[in-house]
C-alpha cells in the first residue's frame, strides 16, 4: 500500500529513490564534505552517511548562504541528493535546490518517512509517495 503525503511544491521535477532521514537540521557549509557529499558534522544523527543518489529528508537547513553553492557543487560533482524533502523550506536550501535543479517539497511530516524507504518526490505537485517501506525511523 502506497502512502501519499501532501506538502507544498518548492522546486519542480521528480525523483524516485531511497530516503535518508535526519531529525536534525543540516548545514551544507561545514556539515557536509563538499568533495564527497558525506555528512561530517560531529554528533549529527546521519554523520558518515553519503548524500549521493538519496532523497534527503530533514526538518530544515541552517547556516551560511554559502551553503546554497555547496549544495549546487555537490550535484555538479555527482555526489548530491536526488531530491529534498523538508518540514520547513529554508531560503539557503531553496536557493541551492533551484540552482542545482533538485526537486524539493516542504510542509511534510518527515517522521512519517524512514531511512531506507523507497519514495517518490514530485516537486510540481508537492507530494511525497512512500512506495516501499524499510525498517524503523532513524
CB burial of 36-61 (b: ≥16 within 10 Å; e: otherwise) equals: ebbbeeeebebeebbbbebbbbbbeb
Active-site entry in 22, 64, 68, 73: 64
pLDDT score at 70 = 97
pTM, two decimal places: 0.95
Q: Mean pLDDT across the stretch 9-13?
A: 98
27 is catalytic: no
Domain of residue 113, residue span: 3-62+80-132
Domain with residue 113: its CATH number is 3.50.30.10
Choice between 2 and 137, residue whose per-residue pLDDT is larger: 2
Residue 94 included in any domain = yes
pLDDT tens per residue, range 68-126: 999 999 999 999 999 999 999 999 999 999 999 999 999 999 999 999 999 999 999 99
Does residue 73 sit within a domain?
no
Amino acid at each position: 500500500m502506497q502512502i501519499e503525503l501532501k506538502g507544498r511544491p518548492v522546486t519542480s521535477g521528480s525523483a524516485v529513490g531511497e530516503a535518508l532521514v535526519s531529525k536534525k537540521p543540516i548545514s551544507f557549509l561545514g556539515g557536509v564534505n563538499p568533495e564527497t557529499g558525506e555528512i561530517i558534522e560531529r554528533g549529527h544523527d546521519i554523520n558518515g552517511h553519503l548524500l549521493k543518489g538519496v532523497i534527503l529528508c530533514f526538518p530544515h537547513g541552517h547556516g551560511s548562504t554559502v551553503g546554497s553553492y555547496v549544495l549546487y557543487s555537490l550535484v555538479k560533482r555527482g555526489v548530491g541528493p536526488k531530491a529534498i524533502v523538508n518540514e520547513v523550506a529554508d531560503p539557503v536550501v531553496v536557493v541551492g535546490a533551484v540552482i542545482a535543479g533538485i526537486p524539493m517539497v516542504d510542509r511534510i511530516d518527515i517522521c512519517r518517512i524512514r531511512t531506507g524507504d523507497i519514495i517518490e518526490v514530485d516537486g510540481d505537485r508537492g507530494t511525497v509517495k512512500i512506495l516501499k517501506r524499510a525498517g524503523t525511523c532513524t
